[in-house]
Amino acid sequence: MKRLVSSILLTGFLWSAANPLNILQPPAATAQFSAPGELYYTFYGQQIPLTLRSDTIAVSFKTQGGTRGFSQPPYLRLQQALQGGGGNTRGGTPPAQPLNVEVTPLGDRYALVKLLSDTLNDPNSVTKRIQQEPFVESTLPVLTRTSESEQSGTTEQTVILPNEIVLSLEPGMTNLQRNILLDRHNLEIVRSLRFSNNRYIVKSKSVSGTAVLNVANQLNGLAGIQSATPNFVQSVTSGIKEQTNHNTALSQTPQAVDKLRSKLSSLPKHGETPYPTNMLPLQWHLDSTSRRGQLLPRTDVRATEAWKKSNRGDGVVVAVIDSLIQWDHPDLVNTVYTVGDVKDKLPGEVHGWDFSGEGEGDPDTRISADEVTALQPQFKKSFELSNADLLKEYEFLAFEFSGGNPDASEGEIATLIRNYLRNEIAAEFHGTWCAGVIAARPADETGLIGVAPNAKILPVRVFGLGGEITTASLIEAVGYAASRGADVINMSLGSLMPDRELTDQIFEVLDTHPNLVIIASAGNESVDGVGFPAAIPGVLSVGATNISGNRTVYSNYGGRLDLVAPGGDTELNMSGGILTTGGTWVDGFWQGIPVPDYAWGVTLDPKGKYVQVEGTSFSAPTVSGVMALMKGEDPDRRLSRDRLVSILKETASYDGLAMTKADENQYRLQASIGFGSGMGFPFIRPSGIFPQPRPVSSQEYFFGSGLVNADAAVKKVKGE
């Protein structure tokens, strides 16, 4: 922490009231400039290095060139133009040759064009072809942030760099001073950020491309400017490829419905539950005794005991800041929050808000008809194509999966590809998965139950398709959730790039709302140091454990880890995952596709109404649900955030947790060379935040304060 504070003090500049127009002075000598060819942005004075990718081109589409008036979304039109050789031909010009590229959507405004084989040698010609299309606005740089990790080698974050900067001004600056500042640096305001103070999206009138990084870097440190960060467009995935590549994905589950009934009949039934459901024995994260028996230690959060002593989260609102939240799922529709009368109510706002996409956003966080149109073709191919056609169509995936599974047959590789394609689409409903873990309320005896089934979910969407997310959308989403009275904010987004604008916004929100608890996933990179935003001081970071009580192989650990909770592990068996609500049951996905009799990929049933998943993305909402149980027993909100977090940590324990031999050896080596040393080579934590190194026990190193205990936490709140 000392390192972070020092960097703030070294790079901070005060806005001088005595010289209100000192923005006209030359930039301070300490302002940072890139060396030729060096790309980076700054995070509280740290330089975060970036690399320009040569194998991928980003495309932004014109607003009027969306799906409005067209039968296809723009990314599919671009794919047809490039791969089909159609292009923008006029005056009898013959069609251009088809290009060997892969086009994938990123939200509704962008697409990524990946160059394959021969096109890698001539990216300029591909760029020219793209720019000829009338619905294309521009092509943009694609950057990669690569950081060393201690076990997994390197982790990469890929981002698009638009000509947009999030600019935060110091309090007290007048409109005149702001306008003079913008004019001097040749900037113009795109819009101000809602639910935030003194923040704007601005763009340069004189530069574009990677030069936007230099503009942002030069703005940092100037008088009157609190901070400036490029409004990166990130593509954040959910670790689906790794999960798909597990051995269990080599086969599908035939006769899924009958096999599920058979499995449930073989498991011990649970006693009293707040809502009748036959599925509880499969939800081991709530109560593991049905799966582990009475003799083995509990590895769950003891939710079933907590239900008996609590109102199960009644009166508590948990904001889920995430991707598609299909709140009309039968097990979620009765738990969604309805926004009441607020002074700044948004047009059409009822059940949360969608901050992804163009402009002001959308009042519906569920999947739209246009988004179904964008996703359904790939989904359909995974069911319709023969093995031979699938291997040909997705040659690059076949090559990748064959390398990881050298003994697999062509049929098994085809199954892997099918599950990967389907899982990618299923993962678009990541927000639905998280919402179900927190507060699902079973519609009938075949439904699921969340940790806090009487709590309400406030859906807040920030991800477009393909995991597209921007700094600006996340800043607005956090401010929105707080303004709507959320008691808890769940952020299962542990692999974002460190961002000062979001950090400052979270600081402001926490200061303004002392009872609000923000909980975030630690990240899935298996490195020492939790990811961003979990590492932000004041945010509760959560790592993941499996049904055996081990740290999951993917979970981050060490620096800034607060607690652990079940996150699932599907390596040996899909039933080791966290069972929750899915989204591909929506009818639009199945138009023209016969519903199979088998479960596929992460699904428990043929349509994907329920899924079994893994990740710290699901240990975080488990803890958010526990926090909702605790807050439900504190209706007057007399307990501050700090006290509630203290109770959560005090009642957590290492009972039922066990270290693998691999983790024991990892700790032994790290302890010998010193904590925070990064295993002896220069190491930048994925979060960009450097906790103060201190000696810790092996249990604290991998499990923080321990496994969350909902029963003990609720008891302590009631006894306060």
Contacts of 705 (CB under 8 A, 6+ apart): 562, 563, 648, 649, 650, 652
Burial code (b: 16+ CB inside 10 Å, e: under 16) for 204-217 equals beeebebebbbbbb
Let me know: does 491 contact 460? Beta carbons within 8 Å: no
Helix (H) or strand (E) holding 629: helix 616-632
d(CA 121, CA 563): 48
- Residue tagged active-site, from 287, 300, 322, 562: 322
d(CA 173, CA 410): 65
- Residue tagged active-site, from 168, 290, 356, 617: 617
Let me know: does 326 contact 429? Beta carbons within 8 Å: yes
| 185 catalytically annotated | no
Q: With helix as H, strand as E and coil as C, how does 316-363 read? A: CEEEEEECCCCCCCCCCCCCECCCCCCCCCCCCCCCCEECCCCCCCEC
d(CA 650, CA 662): 28
Q: Tokens at residue 380, please?
A: 């359909």
Radius of gyration of the chain (CA): 25
Let me know: does 615 contact 238? Beta carbons within 8 Å: yes
How far CA 662 is from CA of 557, 569, 655, 659, in Å, comes to 14, 17, 20, 8
| 430 catalytically annotated | yes
| 118 catalytically annotated | no
In DSSP notation, 419-469 reads HHHHHHHHGGGHHHHHHHHHH---SSTTS---SSTTSEEEEEE---GGGEE
d(CA 448, CA 441): 6
d(CA 499, CA 613): 28
Let me know: does 524 contact 555? Beta carbons within 8 Å: yes
d(CA 233, CA 269): 47
- Residue tagged active-site, from 430, 504, 521, 687: 430
Q: Which residues are catalytic?
A: 322, 430, 617
